[in-house]
Amino acid sequence: MRNNLYQEMKKFWYQKKPLWGILILFILMYYSLVTSHHNERDVIQLFGASQWTLIILVTISSAFMTMEYRDNTIVTMLYKSSNRFNIYFSKIIVLVLYSVLLSFCGVIFTILEAAFSHQLLTVNVLRALLFNTFGTLLYSVFIVTLSLLLISLVKIDAIVIVIGLMLGFLGATFSNILMSLFHTWSRAIRWNPLNMIYVINQLSDPKYFKYSSLSNLELVLGTVSYAIIFLIIGYWTFKKRLV
């Protein structure tokens, strides 16, 4: 396992993509700043960092798995590892660590941009901002495990990226439509995976409860449970996959 983790770390950093990811995050957040109305809300929402982080993560996660099949390196990895779980889990750990880094950069960039645009960082704003970051981080684990599951199932990274983006941008809306259409079922429907995206904003802002219909604790538990389910199914699919 230590070997696998070490290899994945190395491969990850030698690729230029992760650094590009951080740069793109900065550029997109800067874009949000110049197009915003300079209010507190933008700061709390980290100038859109959550959404951008998810897009970057889906792209990088799926590429991080498909590259092994493109150049046949999967064969070497498989016979050199004692089992397939180590490979799969190492990839997830590296990607989760990367989401931590992205979140950290998101906070730093937010503080810089707030200072740059002369916005006051009150304790309340900072608190809300950190809750949002924590929510984003939880949802990142959900997205990373989901991306690797989708890659194990459909094998083509372009498709996974499209599905990921649709989930990221339209998932919440779709979930709300479902809940309002099937009102009587909404007690069950609120637990659908698309609804978990509210974990990003609801921790800092209870008003989101009226969309999610789940308490903060339920959202956190739901997100973590889905991540574990995705991990298990994803690993199982990966294990069955021929090389």
Partner 1 sequence: MLSIKNVSTFIEGKKIIHDVSLHIKPGEIVGLIGPNGAGKTTFMKTILGLTKFTGDISIDEQSVTENNHQALRKVGALIEHPAIYPFLTGRQNLLLYSESNSDLEEIISTLKMEKFIDKKSKDYSLGMKQKLGIGIALLNNPEFVILDEPMNGLDIESTIMIRDVIRKYAEQGCMFLISSHILGELQKVMTQVVLLRSGRIILNRSMSSLNQDSSKKYFVQMDKINLVEDLLNHNNIQNQRVGEYLEIDAQNIDLMQNLVFQNGLYLTRLEPEKLNLEEKIVRILSDKEGSNNEE
Question: How many H-runs (helices) and E-runs (strands) does the chain carry?
Answer: 12, 0
Concatenating the DSSP letter of every residue in 114-175 gives: HHHTT----HHHHHHHHHHHHHHHHHHHHHHHHHHHHHHHH--HHHHHHHHHHHHHHHHHHH
Q: How far is the CB of 83 from partner 1 (least distance, A)?
A: 6
10 binds partner 1, rule: CB under 8 A: yes
Distance CA 243, CA 241 (A): 7
Q: With respect to partner 1, which residue has the nearer C-beta, 61 or 201?
A: 61
Q: 3-class DSSP state for residue 222?
A: helix
15 sits near partner 1 (criterion: CB under 8 A): yes
Site for partner 1 in 72-101 (CB under 8 A): 72-76, 78-83
Q: Which residues of 35-53 are buried (b: 16+ CB within 10 A; e: fewer)?
A: ebeeeeebbbbbbbbbbbb
Residues 6+ away with beta carbon under 8 Å from 120? none
**Residue 228 sits in the site that holds partner 1 (CB under 8 A):** no
Q: Does 7 bind partner 1 (CB under 8 A)?
A: yes
14 counts as binding partner 1 under rule CB under 8 A: yes
Dist. CA 120–CA 95, nearest whole Å: 33
The site for partner 1, by CB under 8 A, has a size of 21
Q: Which is nearer to partner 1, 14 or 217 (CB)?
A: 14
Specify the residue, 33 or 95, whose C-beta has the smaller distance to partner 1: 95
Least gap, CB of 31 to partner 1 (angstroms): 28
Considering the complex, state which of residue 41 and residue 80 has its C-beta at the smaller distance from partner 1.
80
Taking CB under 8 A as the rule, does residue 173 contact partner 1? no
| CB nearer to partner 1: pick between 12 and 174 | 12
Reading phi first (left if > 0) and then psi (alpha if -120 to 50, else beta), residue 72 is in left
Binders in 28-67 for partner 1, by CB under 8 A: 67
Name the one range near partner 1 by CB under 8 A: 7-15, 107-115, 124-132, 184-192.
7-15
Nearer to partner 1, 39 or 72 (CB): 72
CB of 76 to partner 1, least distance (A): 4
At 83, is the secondary structure helix, strand, or coil? Answer: coil
Tokens standing for residue 196: 């978990």
Q: Is 16 among the residues that bind partner 1 (CB under 8 A)?
A: yes
CA distance 183 to 47: 34
Smallest gap from residue 106 Cβ to partner 1 (A): 26
The site for partner 1 (CB under 8 A) is made up of 7, 10-11, 14-16, 67, 71-76, 78-83, 242-243
